[in-house]
Amino acid sequence: NMTETRIHRADKQQNGDAMAETSTVDDVFDDTYREKEGKKPPKILVWRNIILMGFLHVGALYGLALIPSASWLTLGWTAVCYMISALGVTAGAHRLWSHRSYKASVPLRVFLALGNSMAFQNDIYEWARDHRVHHKYSETDADPHNAKRGFFFSHIGWLLVRKHPDVIEKGQKLELGDLKADRVVMFQRRHYKLSVVLLCFLVPMLVPWYFWGESLGVAYFVPGLLRYTVVLNASWLVNSAAHMWGNRPYDKTINPRENPFVAISAIGEGFHNYHHTFPFDYATSEFGCKVNITTAFINLMCFLGLARDRKRVSRDMIAARIQRTGDGSHKSG
């Protein structure tokens, strides 16, 4: 354990030197935290969430059965809604707002916030707060979706019970000034419920009904509920599957893994061993745009002048890390 501690310390130093600016983002693993000893607090079920998530998944299955009755335009629209809501999470809440791995102009931030409301995964502020504690206290009581509590808990279970008190205690100590200072983030937080009703449910349903006469039933269940549920599960797989199955070429002392299947459905967010090792890298992967639509999207935004200052880990730093802490699965080894 002493060596592990030293590894993390050394890396913090290294990251800090290479990326002075990122030191303000409170997303670096804290190896000094210790779980409280003794009995764990009891699990308190939140029945409202259990029932709503149950209905949502039944509705999504019904949407699946309705796919053959949907027009091609409606299916195309479903894919568009999937992309916009996924980008609102990956390029927005995750890479921009949780990790500050690049900078985005106001129009791009507005687009990402709209996509984020379409994804209905809690507002950006709450998402980023939970995500920063997830990185900082990964796989401990203070991690909201602690993967040590099993697949079900890290996938969906954590949204169905009250949080462990350490999540809240540690979360309250996080530096979140950058989020509070972002007017787009705070505007979305103030109008979150209305924005979700409009963007996650009404817009996906009304567009196919109004523009090409799709039935309201198909329009509600396919681009609405089914699309929402698939984006949710694709995101949750990063917390469950990508914390359990895959190689650890960059750091074998941590649980997050490289999982190409998750990377596909989560449009580039499955390279999770890399991401937890270098959380400030805007590509969340060593391999840039490969199986990574989100990275391609951010590159396009830079090309259009809507984003800038992408942070990237140097080749040397990656190679050194693979040598020092990798599990030997990297093809360079």
Positions touching ligand ST9 (CB under 6 A) are: 46, 49, 86, 89-90, 94, 120-122, 126, 129-131, 133, 144, 159, 162-163, 167-168, 171-172, 231-232, 234-235, 238-239, 266-267, 269
Q: What is the DSSP letter of 204?
A: H
Q: Which stretch binds Zn ion (CB under 5 A): 84-92, 214-222, 249-257, 316-324?
A: 249-257
Separation CA 50–CA 161 (nearest Å): 9
The 45-64 contact track toward Zn ion, x by CB under 5 A, reads --------------------
3-class SS of residue 151 = helix
**Residue 90 binds which entry of ligand ST9, Zn ion, none, with Cβ cut-offs from 5 to 8 Å by kind?**
ligand ST9
Q: How far is the CB of 120 from ligand ST9 (least distance, A)?
A: 6
What secondary structure does DSSP assign to 137-172, as a single string? TTTSTTSTT-GGG-HHHHHTGGGSBPPPHHHHHHHT
Q: How far is the CB of 188 from ligand ST9 (least distance, A)?
A: 14
Q: How far is the CB of 314 from ligand ST9 (least distance, A)?
A: 23
Q: How far is the CB of 192 from ligand ST9 (least distance, A)?
A: 11
Strands 307-308 and 103-104: antiparallel
Q: Which stretch binds Zn ion (CB under 5 A): 167-175, 207-215, 218-226, 256-264?
A: 256-264
Residue 227 CB coordination number (10 Å)? 26
Separation CA 235–CA 237 (nearest Å): 5
Q: How far is the CB of 221 from ligand ST9 (least distance, A)?
A: 18
CA angle 262, 143, 197 (to 5 degrees): 65
- Token pair belonging to 254: 């941590």
3-class SS of residue 28 = coil
Cβ proximity to Zn ion: between 256 and 268 the closer is 256
